[in-house]
Amino acid sequence: MVAQDGAGASILAAMDRREAARARVRLGGEVRRFLEARGYEEVETPCLVPAPGMEPHISAFATPFRPEGGGPERALWLHTSPEYAMKRLLAAGFPRIFQLARVFRNGEVSPHHNPEFTMLELYRAGAGYREIMADLEELLGSCARALCGGGAAPGRALDLTPPYRRLTVAEAFRDRAGVDLGACQGRVDRLRQAAAAAGLDPGRPADTYDDLFFRIFLERIEPGLGEGAPVYLTDWPAPMAALARLRPDDPRWAERFELYAGGLELANGFSELTDAVEQRRRLLAEQEERRRLGRPVHPVDEDFLAALPRMPPSGGVAVGLDRVLMLLTGAATIGEVLLFPAAP
Q: Is the pLDDT of residue 337 over 80?
A: yes
* Residue 25, burial from CB neighbour count under 10 angstroms (0-12, 13-18, 19+): exposed
Q: What distances in angstroms separate CA 339 from CA 84, 97, 146, 192, one per listed residue? A: 29, 28, 22, 45
Q: Indicate the CATH number of 12-164+229-337 among 3.30.930.10, 3.30.1370.60, 1.20.950.20, 3.40.50.300.
A: 3.30.930.10
pLDDT of residue 17: 81
Q: Is the pLDDT of residue 13 over 80?
A: no
pLDDT bracket for residue 55 (50, 70, 90): very high
Q: Is the pLDDT of residue 6 over 50?
A: no
Q: Domains of the chain: which residue ranges?
A: 12-164+229-337
pLDDT of residue 18: 87
Q: Return the closest-CA partner of residue 187 out of 208, 217, 215.
A: 208
Tens of pLDDT along 205-229?
989 999 999 999 999 999 999 999 9
Q: pTM (2 decimals)?
A: 0.93
Neighbours of 278 (CB within 10 A): 14
Q: Is the pLDDT of residue 329 over 70?
A: yes
Distance CA 60, CA 28 (A): 25
pLDDT bracket for residue 260 (50, 70, 90): very high
pLDDT of residue 273: 98
pLDDT bracket for residue 3 (50, 70, 90): very low
Is 4 within 8 Å of 149 (Cβ atoms)?
no
pLDDT bracket for residue 4 (50, 70, 90): very low
Tens of pLDDT along 102-129?
999 999 999 999 999 999 999 999 999 9
Q: Is the pLDDT of residue 47 over 60?
A: yes
pLDDT bracket for residue 7 (50, 70, 90): very low
Q: What is the mean pLDDT of residues 161-170?
A: 98
Is 103 within 8 Å of 119 (Cβ atoms)?
yes
Tens of pLDDT along 284-315?
999 999 999 999 999 999 999 999 999 999 99
Rg (CA), the chain: 20
Q: Is the pLDDT of residue 167 over 80?
A: yes
Q: Is the pLDDT of residue 14 over 60?
A: no
Pairing of strands 264-271, 116-125: unpaired
pLDDT bracket for residue 10 (50, 70, 90): very low
Neighbours of 284 (CB within 10 A): 12
